[in-house]
């Protein structure tokens, strides 16, 4: 997701319309109501298989594996890599966890600050207002090439108001935090004495630290993805029309939840050939067979570092001796 791509496809006009105060308030209220009606507000996590010295984290043993996949060009080439063992958050970082960080530090996220116009010359003034890119389900679309048909830059959208002004995270403490720019994720991790995973670490953990994990391309059952014709028909056969609280689906063999689906997750790897972009992994609740087959460990996507979007979150890792 990039500003350039949004602009090229005409999001600005939509954002200007959405930005008109009253309309935005109504939209935010509708979005909040839709989200509130979307399913449970909390899912109970299973007891970890082993007690952990690092709260909320599980051990990912080291190993060698073949990284990448062959479905989309950006996943190639397949290459052998080695990773050391590390600890990883069992779940995506939640609103409650991020709120504790903000409470303790007074941190202000990128989506709450004015956009640095010097970094983005030519950016229209509306997109220089603090905000985030929000998914808005359209009634109909004209082809799938124009992402502005379902992505809108909404001034006032941020982690506290992920649908824009009028929306809120009240009651959604156990949902993963979203509208988080790369620097926000790094700051949170540093506050916890941790870091973000590299792409290789993330992918290895998603492959359950199994060098023989096959590259399946079918839609996973145990993950929050999109069933139906994206973006106009959301069958929610997995039980969730939108983002799910963390831990609602079966964990992988390492005890990690939502590695595939729910929210995309930041990694530290720059996206080669795309300055200012980092690799994100795992796909989100918006990934559908009809549009984005990225609900796989080997799948990847570039993301503009300082652009917050509401299908992207993160989890942290810790380099420390294993159990």
In 3-state terms, what secondary structure has residue 200?
Answer: helix
Which residues 200-229 are close enough to bind Ca ion by CB under 5 A? 224
| String of DSSP letters for 98-161 | HHHHHHHH----GGGS---GGGSTT--GGGGSSEEEEE---S--S-SS-GGGTEEEEET-BTTB
Estimate the crossing angle of helix 11-19 against helix 21-36, to 10 degrees: 90
Instruction: Considering the complex, state which of residue 262 and residue 268 has its C-beta at the smaller distance from Ca ion.
Output: 262
Instruction: Considering the complex, state which of residue 158 and residue 178 has its C-beta at the smaller distance from Ca ion.
Output: 178
At closest approach, how far in Å is the CB of 215 from Ca ion?
18
At closest approach, how far in Å is the CB of 259 from Ca ion?
6
At closest approach, how far in Å is the CB of 296 from Ca ion?
12
Token pair for 88: 């990883």
Residue in 196, 194, 200 with CA at minimum distance from that of residue 84 = 200
At closest approach, how far in Å is the CB of 52 from Ca ion?
20
Residue in 280, 297, 317 with CA at minimum distance from that of residue 62 = 317
Instruction: Considering the complex, state which of residue 158 and residue 262 has its C-beta at the smaller distance from Ca ion.
Output: 262
Token pair for 305: 């570092």
Contact between 240 and Ca ion by CB under 5 A: the answer reads yes
- CB atoms under 10 Å from CB of 267, counted, come to 25
Instruction: Considering the complex, state which of residue 15 and residue 299 has its C-beta at the smaller distance from Ca ion.
Output: 299
Segment near Ca ion (CB under 5 A); pick from 5-13, 71-79, 148-156, 236-244: 236-244
d(C-alpha 265, C-alpha 297), whole Å: 12
Q: Please name the residues in contact with 189: beta carbons below 8 A apart, sequence gap of 6 or more.
A: 195, 196, 314, 316
Contact between 297 and Ca ion by CB under 5 A: the answer reads no
Contact between 155 and Ca ion by CB under 5 A: the answer reads no
Instruction: Considering the complex, state which of residue 156 and residue 283 has its C-beta at the smaller distance from Ca ion.
Output: 283
Instruction: Considering the complex, state which of residue 194 and residue 281 has its C-beta at the smaller distance from Ca ion.
Output: 281
At closest approach, how far in Å is the CB of 83 from Ca ion?
19
Segment near Ca ion (CB under 5 A); pick from 105-113, 114-122, 132-140, 239-247: 239-247
CA distances from 131 to 120, 180, 266 (A): 15, 11, 19
Which residues 243-262 are close enough to bind Ca ion by CB under 5 A? 258, 262
Q: Please name the residues in contact with 167: beta carbons below 8 A apart, sequence gap of 6 or more.
A: 28, 29, 31, 32, 35, 157, 161
Instruction: Considering the complex, state which of residue 7 and residue 246 has its C-beta at the smaller distance from Ca ion.
Output: 246
Segment near Ca ion (CB under 5 A); pick from 31-39, 45-53, 155-163, 280-288: 280-288
Contact between 89 and Ca ion by CB under 5 A: the answer reads no
The binding site for Ca ion (CB under 5 A) comprises 224, 238, 240, 258, 262-263, 282, 285
């Amino acid at each position: 997701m990039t500003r350039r791509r949004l602009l090229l496809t005409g999001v600005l006009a939509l954002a200007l319309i959405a930005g008109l105060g009253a309309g935005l308030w109504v939209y935010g209220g509708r979005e909040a109501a839709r989200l509130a009606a979307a399913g449970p507000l909390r899912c109970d996590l299973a007891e970890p298989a082993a007690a952990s010295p690092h709260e909320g984290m599980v051990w990912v043993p080291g190993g060698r594996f073949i990284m990448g996949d062959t479905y989309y060009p950006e996943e190639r080439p397949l290459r052998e890599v080695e990773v050391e063992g590390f600890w990883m958050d069992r779940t995506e970082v939640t609103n409650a966890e991020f709120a504790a960080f903000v409470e303790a530090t007074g941190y202000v996220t990128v989506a709450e600050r004015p956009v640095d116009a010097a970094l983005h010359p030519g950016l229209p003034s509306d997109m220089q207002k603090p905000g985030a890119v929000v998914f808005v389900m359209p009634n109909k679309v004209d082809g799938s090439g124009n992402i502005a048909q379902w992505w809108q830059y909404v001034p006032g959208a941020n982690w506290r108001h992920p649908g824009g002004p009028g929306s809120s995270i009240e009651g959604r403490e156990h949902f993963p935090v979203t509208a988080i720019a790369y620097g926000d994720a790094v700051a949170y991790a540093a506050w916890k004495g941790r870091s973000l995973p590299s792409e290789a670490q993330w992918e290895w953990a998603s492959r359950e630290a199994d060098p023989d994990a096959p590259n399946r391309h079918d839609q996973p059952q145990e993950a929050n993805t999109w069933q139906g014709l994206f973006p106009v028909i959301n069958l929610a056969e997995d039980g969730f029309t939108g983002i799910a609280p963390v831990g609602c689906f079966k964990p992988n063999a390492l005890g990690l939840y939502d590695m595939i689906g729910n929210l995309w997750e930041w990694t530290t790897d720059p996206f080669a050939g795309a300055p200012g972009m980092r690799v994100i992994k795992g796909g989100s609740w918006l990934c559908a067979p009809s549009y984005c087959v990225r609900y796989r460990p080997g799948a990847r996507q570039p993301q503009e570092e300082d652009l917050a979007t509401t299908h992207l979150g993160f989890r942290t890792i810790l380099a420390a001796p294993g159990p």
